[in-house]
Amino acid sequence: MHRRSISLRLTLWFGGIFFLGWLLFGAAMWFNLQSTLTGERFQTLSRRVDRLQDLLRKTQNENEEDRHQDFQDFARATGNGLNEIFRTDGSRFFASPSSAARAFPWPAVKSGDPERFLRINSAGQSYWMLARPFSLGGQSLCLMAAAPEAGNLLVLHRFLIVLLASAPILLLVSSAGGYWVGRRALRPVDRITSTVQSISIGSLSERLPVDATGDELQRLTETCNAMLDRLELSVNRIRQFTADASHELRAPLSFTRTVAEVALRNSRIDAESRRAFEEIVDEGAKAAVLLADMLTLARADADSTDVVWETVDLAGVIENIFDKVRPLATERQLALSLSLVATSSVNVTGDFLSLRRLLWILLDNALKYTPPRGRIGVTLNASTTEATILVCDNGIGISQGALPHVFDRFYRADSSRSQVEGSGLGLAIAKGIVELHRGSLSAISDENRGTTFRIVLPLCQAQTSASRRAHCTDGSAPGHTGNTPLAAGMHRASLLNCD
């Protein structure tokens, strides 16, 4: 399931909440405006009825014709003639001069009705109407005045249009603000994430920078640093135990092997005892190799490596190890080929013994897992900045499920490969050597088609034409002290071709 980032979720939440708040605010403002306009309309009609009451009281003693004329003048001057005076029996007290008033659907009048403020529809339009009971000279009357609502509706409509038109702008602004706030708030989290990702088993001494902000992020950083302290302490104890155990076991193992070898020199021992001592010698040799590899990795983890950095010609390293591998390949009926594609010396800054052991591990791996009449090839190529070494074979290959773990310590692949004796530490040591030289080691493989290991090493800043040729004895190679990403973009067809 696709997971949205926290910044995106914060943006959506911030924009959604802001938009919802804006909707509630807009609705409240709309209803408030409607109430205000309605109240103003009531006050207008109430003042008109007040003036009509005053007019009727002032003209109470005048003759009927003058009073009628005064009412008509008042009706024409106010409300477009929408003013009426009704008796309680429903008849008009004075005739209105306006045809609109006469056609208006005035509500029925009943004795004892209170003052009423009503909305009435007439001829497709909405009107507000005020009806107020009034007593004049012992007569019960009802004064009515009406006014159209069109002006109020126009104002409300314009307000709604502006409110809806501003929605996209406000939503965009709120989303942009939410994204900015989210990114700014999560910037320390990104910094913590990138720093944690750069910390590996070889760099547990690194710590996250702590900003004295007093907030949750500071507590998170301090908690991560405390966790790293515990991990570093535990890993150092494991490394020290591995190194101590490997070192301490070498003496009794060598003693046991020596005793067995001395016993084999005795011609008087029986055949069964001889076979037992021979097995002790064989198993002791294997255990000695395993302990040597474990001690190599333990020293590398503890950064206690004695590396001699110098300019090394890779072609010389490959040719040196090739001379030692060729007899083994011939004995196992394997075709061994070497291709130096580079036209000049390929020089890197490194340790000759370590690079020699690196190639020996990869070629020994190819010798073990390539059946008779198979092919093993080594290719050296170089660009302007890096050298590439390919070690390929057409052996039994590695399953795709096991391929990501081949450089793990003590990892053994499927049963077909585990039939070959080994400790499972060789490729881990090889990877450590490559990373020590700031390079990368990767592998591709197809079952029953073969495996290709690809080494990429940075060249010296200034290439020299001198090549180093040296006769070297076996030695322990340094292990992993750095972290470099695996090289990307391998071409399967070309890498698996060992012809």
Q: Does one domain contain both 122 and 26?
A: yes
Of residues 195 and 359, which shows the higher confidence score?
359
Q: Does one domain contain both 276 and 346?
A: no
What would the two tokens of residue 403 be?
């391929």
Confidence band for 202, pLDDT divided at 50, 70 and 90: low
Q: Does one domain contain both 338 and 297?
A: no
Q: Are 286 and 425 a contacting pair, CB within 8 Å?
A: no
Final residue of a structural domain among 111, 134, 154: 154
In percent, the amount of the chain with pLDDT more than 90 equals 16
Q: Of 354, 365, 374, 290, whose CA–CA distance to 325 is shortest? A: 365
Is it the case that residue 77 has pLDDT exceeding 90?
no
Confidence band for 21, pLDDT divided at 50, 70 and 90: confident
Is it the case that residue 431 has pLDDT exceeding 90?
no
Is it the case that residue 492 has pLDDT exceeding 50?
no
- The DSSP bridge partners found for residue 121 are 126
Q: Are strands 440-446 and 375-382 parallel, antiparallel or unpaired?
A: unpaired
Q: Does one domain contain both 448 and 322?
A: yes
Final residue of a structural domain among 301, 324, 350: 301
Q: Average pLDDT in the 309-336 region?
A: 89
Confidence band for 10, pLDDT divided at 50, 70 and 90: confident
Q: Average pLDDT in the 345-361 region?
A: 88
Q: Does one domain contain both 289 and 327?
A: no
pLDDT at 353: 87
- Looking at the domain assignment, is residue 150 inside a domain? yes
Q: In the chain, how many domains are there?
A: 3
Is it the case that residue 269 has pLDDT exceeding 90?
no
Confidence band for 68, pLDDT divided at 50, 70 and 90: confident
pLDDT at 133: 92
Q: Does one domain contain both 397 and 481?
A: yes
Instruction: Please report, as a single letter, which amino acid is at residue 212.
Output: A
Is it the case that residue 83 has pLDDT exceeding 60?
yes
Q: What range defines the domain where residue 385 resides?
A: 310-495
pLDDT at 452: 93
pLDDT at 399: 85
First vs last C-alpha separation in the chain:
45
Order of strands, sheet of 83-87, starting from the edge strand that comes earlier in the sequence:
83-87, 139-148, 125-136, 116-122
Q: What is the 3-state secondary structure (H, E, C) of the chain?
A: CCCCCHHHHHHHHHHHHHHHHHHHHHHHHHHHHHHHHHHHHHHHHHHHHHHHHHHHHHCCCCCHHHHHHHHHHHHHHCHHHCEEEEECCCCECCCCCCHHHHHCCCCCCCCCCCCEEEEEEECCEEEEEEEEEEEECCEEEEEEEEEECHHHHHHHHHHHHHHHHHHHHHHHHHHHHHHHHHHHHHHHHHHHHHHHHHCCCCCCCCCCCCCCCCCHHHHHHHHHHHHHHHHHHHHHHHHHHHHHHHHHHHHHHHHHHHHHHHHHCCCCCCHHHHHHHHHHHHHHHHHHHHHHHHHHHHHHHCCCCCCCCEEEEHHHHHHHHHHHHHHHHHHCCCEEEEEECCCCCCEEEECHHHHHHHHHHHHHHHHHHCCCCCEEEEEEEECCCEEEEEEEECCCCCCCCCHHHCCCCCCCCCHHHHCCCCCCCHHHHHHHHHHHCCCEEEEEEECCCEEEEEEEEECCCCCCCCCCCCCCCCCCCCCCCCCCCCCCCCCHHHHCCCC
- Looking at the domain assignment, is residue 361 inside a domain? yes
Q: Does one domain contain both 292 and 148?
A: no
Q: Does one domain contain both 254 and 347?
A: no
Q: Of 354, 321, 316, whose CA–CA distance to 431 is shortest? A: 354
Give the torsion sign (CA, 223, 229, 233, 235).
positive
Give tens-digit pLDDT for 125-141: 899 999 999 988 788 89
Of residues 455 and 251, which shows the higher confidence score?
455
Confidence band for 363, pLDDT divided at 50, 70 and 90: very high
Q: Does one domain contain both 472 and 358?
A: yes
Is it the case that residue 232 has pLDDT exceeding 60?
yes
Q: Please write down the long-range contacts of 193-197, taking CB distance under 8 Å and 24 or more positions apart.
A: 196/224
Is it the case that residue 60 has pLDDT exceeding 70?
yes
- The DSSP bridge partners found for residue 350 are 310
pLDDT at 306: 62
- Looking at the domain assignment, is residue 209 inside a domain? no
Final residue of a structural domain among 257, 279, 301: 301
Could you give the C-alpha distances from 238 to 234, 291, 424, in angstroms and in order? 6, 15, 19
Task: Please report where in the chains the tokens 């929408």 appear, as a residue.
Answer: 82
pLDDT at 265: 83
Q: Average pLDDT in the 424-432 region?
A: 83
Q: Average pLDDT in the 323-347 region?
A: 84
Q: Does one domain contain both 243 and 359?
A: no
Q: Average pLDDT in the 31-48 region?
A: 92
Instruction: Please report, as a single letter, which amino acid is at residue 329.
Output: A
Q: Does one domain contain both 446 and 388?
A: yes
Q: Average pLDDT in the 150-164 region?
A: 89
Give the torsion sign (CA, 314, 319, 325, 326).
positive
What would the two tokens of residue 4 be?
């949205």
pLDDT at 220: 85
Q: Does one domain contain both 293 and 350?
A: no
pLDDT at 467: 38
pLDDT at 474: 35
- Looking at the domain assignment, is residue 78 inside a domain? yes
